[in-house]
Structure 1
Amino acid sequence: MKSIEIDDELYQYIAGQTKKIGESASEILRRLLLGDAEAQVPEVSEVAAVETPVAVNSNIFDLINKQDLQAESSVVGRFLFILSTLARVHKKQFNKVLDIKGRNRLYFGRSAEELSEAGSSTNPKQIPNTDFWVITNSNTTRKKMMLTETAIKLGYSEQDAERIRDLL
């Protein structure tokens, strides 16, 4: 197997094209580029399982592939990937992240400008496949805290929120 390097934006696009749980990047690209007959049309039940918001007791960890996380070479890339997965699973609830704030700073917003106006050197990045933005210049400990708070806002238990945090 060969390895290639792609930028974060392209990787997030590829990951966003997932049609079934456990589908690898190679399978996604084969389906998109080559029209592979087996990969092209997933079963309806598999698509419904991915697109339906997951109940609180469902296992988000089945949707986050360890290989995909390891492919992200930076903490920011993994941070955005985890947030994007949470947003995909909890589409209707994800706007609750807008309530997560620091003492003097917004962590999440609807635009880069909103976050830039709320603090200096925030380095806002769009959460892939969403209309939400997040600051990315904070240290890893702060990013872990933001993931933990996000998971709790979305209804995860303390224990599962810590597991999500530890994916970073």
Structure 2
Amino acid sequence: MKNIEIEEDLYHFIASKTQHIGESASDILRRLVMPDSLPAKIEQVAVQEKTQSSLNMQSSLLAELANLKLLEMPKMVDRFLAMLALLHQYHAGSFAAVLALSGRNRTYFAITKEALLATGSSTNPKQVPHSDYWVITNNNTVKKVTLVKEVAQLLGYSEVQIEQLIALFCPEPA
């Protein structure tokens, strides 16, 4: 493999043409400069299939959430846990990203109840159903809505899909 030096503006141009995380500069240039090359076409098909699969999964999750009838659950914490459980079910492989969510003085998700109790006196940790994850639940509705949005963003949902999730969770402005 050869190395070349390029100017900053060209580097930013190449980086702006990235189609998926982990795509190398060589892959990007090959796709842009040699569009008929076999590896580039295979890569494009793989990216398209992955994108379609992701969209199908997210649509399926939205349909399943609608069937859960979250709004019929009287307690916001039950809605919150049901939403997180379903997000975990559909994204078990990438759900660990939620462990990075934290505030100034609090951790919002952890693998153990004790880890959350150590971050504050009134966290009221509850286990996300059917998962190894725990979440603090002693937040107001606005914070729960914000956490659902942040989790959905981490899992790759579009803004439109996130708004659909929130409408199924808490349609009134919190």
Is the pair's TM-score, using the shorter chain for normalization, greater than 0.5? yes
Matches within 5 A, 1:10-159: 55-58=53-56, 59=59, 60-159=61-160
1:23-82 deviation per Cα after TM superposition (whole angstroms, max 9, x unaligned): xxxxxxxxxxxxxxxxxxxxxxxxxxxxxxx94312121111345424422000000000
Mark the runs of 5 or more structure 1 residues left unpaired by the alignment. 1-53
With over 3 angstroms needed to count, the CA separation of the structure-2 counterparts of 1:55 and 1:82, relative to structure 1, is farther
Amino acid at match of 2:85: S
Mark the runs of 5 or more structure 2 residues left unpaired by the alignment. 1-51, 170-174
Q: Is the 8 A contact 2:125 2:137 kept in 1?
A: yes
1:99-157 deviation per Cα after TM superposition (whole angstroms, max 9, x unaligned): 11112110111011100101120000000000000000000000000000000000001
TM-score normalised according to structure 2 size? 0.62
Runs of 4+ in 1 over 6 A off after TM superposition: none
Q: How many residues align?
A: 115
Q: Distance in 2 between matches of 1:151 and 1:101?
A: 15
Q: Is the 8 A contact 2:65 2:168 kept in 1?
A: no
Name the % identity.
Answer: 40
Q: Name the SS for the 2:54 alignment partner.
A: coil
With over 3 angstroms needed to count, the CA separation of the structure-2 counterparts of 1:65 and 1:162, relative to structure 1, is closer
Which moves more between the two structures, 96-105 or 157-166? 157-166
Amino acid at match of 2:136: I
Greater per-residue helix proportion: 2
With over 3 angstroms needed to count, the CA separation of the structure-2 counterparts of 1:90 and 1:67, relative to structure 1, is closer
- C-alpha RMSD over aligned residues: 1.6
Q: Distance in 1 between matches of 2:153 and 2:54?
A: 10
